[in-house]
Chains A and B, each alone.
Chain A
Amino acid sequence: MEQKSISLKLKVWKQKNSQTKGSFETHSMNDVSTEMSFLEMFDVLNEKLIQEGKEPIAFDHDCREGICGMCSMYINGRPHGPWHETTTCQLHMRAFNNGETIVVEPWRANAFPVIKDLIVDRTPFDRIIQAGGFISVNTGNAVDANSLPVEKSKADASFAAAACIGCGACVAACKNSSAMLFVSAKVTHLALIPQGDPERKTRALDMVAQMDKEGFGACTNTGACEAVCPKGISLENIARLNKEYLLAGLTSEL
C-alpha cells in the first residue's frame, strides 16, 4: 500500500482540571504518515512537545484495539471521528486530507466533567453498572451448556448488546446527554438470557435510578447515539429498556 505524508493543523482542547475554564490550542504538524492511527499521531505530537519542554496533551487510552472504550475524543464534530463503527484508536490518518484542520474536543456533558484536556470522568458509568449491571449468583464450575437452553435469536441479541464497551460516545453525541443507549445495552444483555432473568426487574429500576442520579438527560429517540456507537448498538435496545422499566415499575411491590 502506498504510504503518504500529510500536513495538518490540530486544534485541541486544553484544560488544566475540572475547576478551570480551558481553551483551544493549535498545533501545526508536518509529515504525518497516513498509516498512523489517530492516537499515534497524538503520540508524535506529544513527543515533540516534551522535547520542546512543553506540556503534552492528556488523553485517555488503553487497549488501542477498539475494546476497552477509553479513547474518548470528539473529532471534527463527531465522537470517535468520521469512520462508521470505529473507535478513535482504530481511526487512521488516511481518513483526513492534506492541509486539513482537525478540531478535537473532550466528551461534553455535565455528568462527564473534564479531568484534564481530553480526559473526562466516566465513573458515572461504573456506578450505573454497580447499581445492577450484574448477576448475583455464585459461579461454581461451568455447567453443561445444554442444561441452560437459550433461544438462538435471543443469544444473538444479547451478544450484540454485550458488545458495548462503555465508551460514552452515545452520551457525547446526544443533544440531551442521555446515557440510555449504554444502559439499554447493559440491561438487554442480561435480560435476554436465563442467568439474568431473576433480577431483571430490580436491575432495570436500579440502573435507571442511578442513571438519573448521575445527571444524564432523558432520551427523545433522536438516534444520534446509534449513529456514532463504535459497536453498532441498536436503538431498539432503548425501546426494550423502556419496556423492561415500565413493566418493572408497574408490577413492583413497593
Chain B
Amino acid sequence: MNWSQLLRSSIGKKIVMSITGLFLVSFLVVHVGVNACIFNDLFDTNDNGDMFNRAADFMGSTVVIRIMEIGLFLGFIIHIYQGLALELQNRSKRKKGYDVQMGNRGSKWYSRSMGLLGTILLLFLILHWWHFWIPSRFTHSGLEVPVLLSNGRISHDMFLLMKVTFSEWWIVLVYVTGCISLAYHLLHGFESAFRTLGLHNSRYLVMVHKLGIGFSIIVPLIFALMPVSFKMGWIG
C-alpha cells in the first residue's frame, strides 16, 4: 500500500477530513481567544479596543504566524474540497432512494447534514474573509485611519472595523447563522474525527463526547456574542 492508495481509500479520505477538521478546531481556539479581547471593553472603560487591536497587530505582524496562516489556508482548502467531494461520492451510492425515509430513527439530523452545514460555513467564510481578512491584509478599506496602540506601535483599527461592520442587522444575523452552523457541524464533527482516527476505547469516547458537546456550544457562543454585543451597544 503506497500513500496514494492509502489516502484515496474510503477510510483514507475520512482520515484527511478528520486531521484537517481537528486542525481547524485548533485554529478556532486561537481565533476565539484573540477576538475575545474585544470584551476587555466591558471591564476597562479606557480600553476602546486597545487590547484587541494589540492582539490583532501581533497576529498580523509576526512572521511565524503569517507562515502558519499559509498552513491554515491549505487546511481549509483540503477540508472543503475533500468534504464536498466525499459528500457527492456518498450521495451517488444510492441512485434509487426509499419511499419511506428512516429520518431521525437512529441518527441525528446534523450528523446526516455535514455537507449542508459545511456549505453554509463556506458561504459564511467567504463573506467573513471579505469583511475582515481581505481589508486587513490587502485593501485596507475601512482601516484608513491608523490607531496608536498602548505599546507604542501604530496599527489598523480592527476594533473600529468590527464596530462599523456589525452596525448592520443583516450582517449580525448572517454571523449568528454561521455560528449556529458551526455549532452543529462540530457537535457531530468533533467526536466523529476521533472515531475516524481509530479511538474505540469507550472510556475515552465518553470523554471526547462530552468535550465535543462543550466545545461545540462554548466556542460558537462566544463568537456569536461578538456581533451581537457590538449591535446591542454592550461594547464599542
Residues of A within 8 A of B (CB): 24, 74, 76-78, 103, 105, 108-111, 173, 175-178, 205, 208-209, 211-212, 215-224, 226-228, 235-250, 252, 254
A238 contacts B195, C-beta separation under 8 Å: yes
- 1/0 per residue, CB under 8 A from A, across B80-99: the answer is 00000010011111111111
Q: Mark B16-53, 1 if CB is under 8 A from A, else 0.
A: 00000000000000000000000000000000000000
Residue numbers in A under 8 Å from B197 (CB-CB): 242-243, 246
18 contacts between A and B (CB under 8 A): A74-B100, A110-B94, A173-B102, A175-B112, A212-B9, A218-B89, A220-B14, A220-B86, A221-B191, A237-B200, A239-B198, A239-B200, A242-B200, A243-B197, A243-B199, A246-B11, A246-B198, A252-B1
Whether A222 and B95, one on each chain, are in contact in the complex, defined by CB atoms closer than 8 angstroms, is no
Minimum C-beta distance from A15 to chain B (A): 10
A242 surroundings in chain B (CB, below 8 A):
11, 14-15, 195-198, 200
**Residue contact B98 to A227, C-beta cutoff 8 Å:** no
Contact (A222, B97) CB under 8 Å given A236-B202, A242-B195, A242-B198: no
Within 8 Å by CB of B93, from A109, A221, A247, lies: A109
Q: Which residues on A sit within 8 Å (CB–CB) of B96? A: 108
A residues in contact with B192, CB < 8 Å: 220-221
- From known contacts A173-B102, A242-B11, infer whether A221 and B196 are also in contact, taking CB-CB under 8 Å: yes
Interface size on B, residues (CB 8 A): 46
> Which B positions have Cβ atoms within 8 angstroms of A?
1-2, 5-6, 9-15, 86, 89-103, 105-108, 111-112, 114, 188, 191-192, 194-200, 202, 205
5 closest Cβ contacts across the A-B interface?
A243-B198, A227-B106, A77-B100, A239-B200, A176-B90
8 further A-B pairs in the complex, CB-CB below 8 A; given A110-B93, A110-B95, A175-B107: A24-B99, A178-B90, A212-B9, A224-B102, A228-B102, A243-B197, A243-B199, A249-B9
CB distance from A187 to the nearest CB of B (A): 11
With a CB–CB cut-off of 8 A, which chain B residues contact A205? 1
CA distance A226 to B195 in the complex (A): 14
Whole-angstrom distance between the Cβ of B20 and the nearest chain A Cβ: 15
Contact A254 B1 (CB under 8 A): yes
Residues of B within 8 A of A175 (CB): 90, 107, 112
Q: Do A108 and B97 have beta carbons less than 8 Å apart?
A: yes
- CB-based contact A217/B200 at 8 Å: no
A208 touches B9 (CB 8 A): yes
Chain A residues with CB under 8 Å of B100's CB are 74, 76-77, 103, 105
